[in-house]
Amino acid sequence: MYFKKVSRMLCILFISASIFTVHNASASGGFEDISPKHEAYEEINNLVVNKSSFADVAVGRELSGYVEQLSFFKSEKELPVKGVAVLDTSQVIGLVSSTTDGLNIRKSKDSSSKANIVGTINKGGKLSVYAVEGDWLKVSYNDAFAYVYKTYAQFLDADGNALRNIQKQVTTTQSINSYVKPTSSSKVISTVNSKVKLPVYKTVNGYYLTVVNGVPGYIVADSTEDVKVEKPSIPNPTQTPPKVSGDLLGRVTVDNLNIRKEANSTSTVLCKLKKGEYVQVNSINGYWAQIIYNGQEGYVHKSYLKILNLSGNPIKDRIIIIDPGHGGKDPGTVVGTIAEKNIALKVSTLVTQKLEAAGAKVLMTRTGDTYPTREGRVDFTHANYGEIFVSIHVNYAANTSAQGTETFFAKTPGDMHQEDIELATFINNQIVKNVNMNDRKVKKENFIVIANTNIPAILVELGFLSNSEDRAKLTDNQYIELFAESIYKGILEYYSKQ
């Protein structure tokens, strides 16, 4: 038995289709998530889930009998009452975690009655869900069905993690099932018609993690096709094209960049530039840079040049898009009264002020508590002639020990992802160094806002709201200032490198 292999005692608190939360009963050890990858998973699974739920009297006895044998067992949960119907855990459709302390668990769907409250659950506590019924989730509690109000419960994926950013959208190409786990042998939650648009949160072994009618589930990736995001090459500008001139150099960031005779994308191609070559930039008008290459004059689309100031501040006149994550109806990650959207806006506003003070032209995708769509943020960037894009977010993990800063770049065909990596690395390292954060490094992830912007674009996750140490920094104004200063310095470092 696994229990004999370890020196401490574990007592199972919650059980769902695929994850157990286990409490170290011997001391102040805290909770431990037993995911399918954990060495104890098989044994706990055999002991409990394959037979029935924890609420099963027989299993309960077996467990408690077993733990009684080891004298230091302390029950953290009342053992089930005899004679109550045993719930069939194979019917579980998902796992939720409470987003608030003291969430009422009721035996009926009636929030006006106090008599129907059978218990409460604190923030982070997990419940297995059997059905979604209007505003209510039908859950198991003490060996019986009960209800919690949907607003205060957040669905988790099969590994027990909260769903994070949407990576892309897909359309179903046929009628397909949504499963509890990424395998067609698991329970079917619901059936989705053909031609339905669904968000993708994660890809696991040929399955996409999506959400159907508010419930996360896995669908076969091959039965979908990607929704194509229109990439406006030359958008209709929302404002007068900015004009810049001065002592400028351009470094080519892609291969085979066209030099055109005139400032438009249908004009004659004079010659092509290779990645890494430098051109003299005389002026920039909107998207078109007038350049001189080998003594010849021509025009190049500025999105594919890193514009370098040969004198003065390296970021003077640069057009920088700052994207505070989420906003409005979308709070992002929430812990108690702390919402990601507010932290992102605070840091973004400070970054903007610092960049502007250094002479940059900065545009924020939102300046208040509003919700621009992801596609809207991409369009905003293109319509405003953005030259780099920095999206600011805060992280969350079910495992509260996860902490630190990570920065993402996207890699798409024809993209100058080397530039993305440099920008991401400078920003990430500045934060890690100045704010003394755990370094979770620079990673590739095709989030919509960074995959569809055809300029250097990164998304930084400052730290984890779910981790107490990170949270203390993310809610402290002095640290907020340090985060902003670090992002500013990272951008400055990026433009200082020629």
> To the nearest whole angstrom, how small is the minimum distance from the Cβ of residue 132 to Zn ion?
25
When the beta carbons of 217 and 332 are compared against Zn ion, the nearer one is 332
Q: Name the residue nearer to Zn ion (CB basis): 165 or 169.
A: 165
Q: Which is nearer to Zn ion, 182 or 325 (CB)?
A: 325
User: Among residues 49 and 462, whose Cβ is nearest to Zn ion?
Assistant: 462
Q: Report in angstroms how near the CB of residue 164 gets to Zn ion at its nearest.
A: 7
* Residue number with CB closer to Zn ion (306 or 471): 471
Q: Which is nearer to Zn ion, 303 or 348 (CB)?
A: 348
Which of residues 388 and 462 has its CB atom nearest to Zn ion in the complex?
A: 462
**Cβ of residue 332: shortest distance to Zn ion, in angstroms?**
4
Q: Shortest gap between Cβ of 349 and Zn ion (angstroms)?
A: 17
Q: Decide if 267 contacts 299 (C-beta within 8 A).
A: yes
Residues that bind Zn ion (CB under 5 A): 325, 332, 393
Question: Of all residues in this chain, which one has the CB nearest to Zn ion in the complex?
Answer: 393
Shortest Cβ 471–Zn ion spacing (Å): 15
- Taking the complex as a whole, the smallest distance from the CB of residue 342 to Zn ion amounts, in Å, to 12
CB of residue 350 vs Zn ion: minimum separation in angstroms?
18
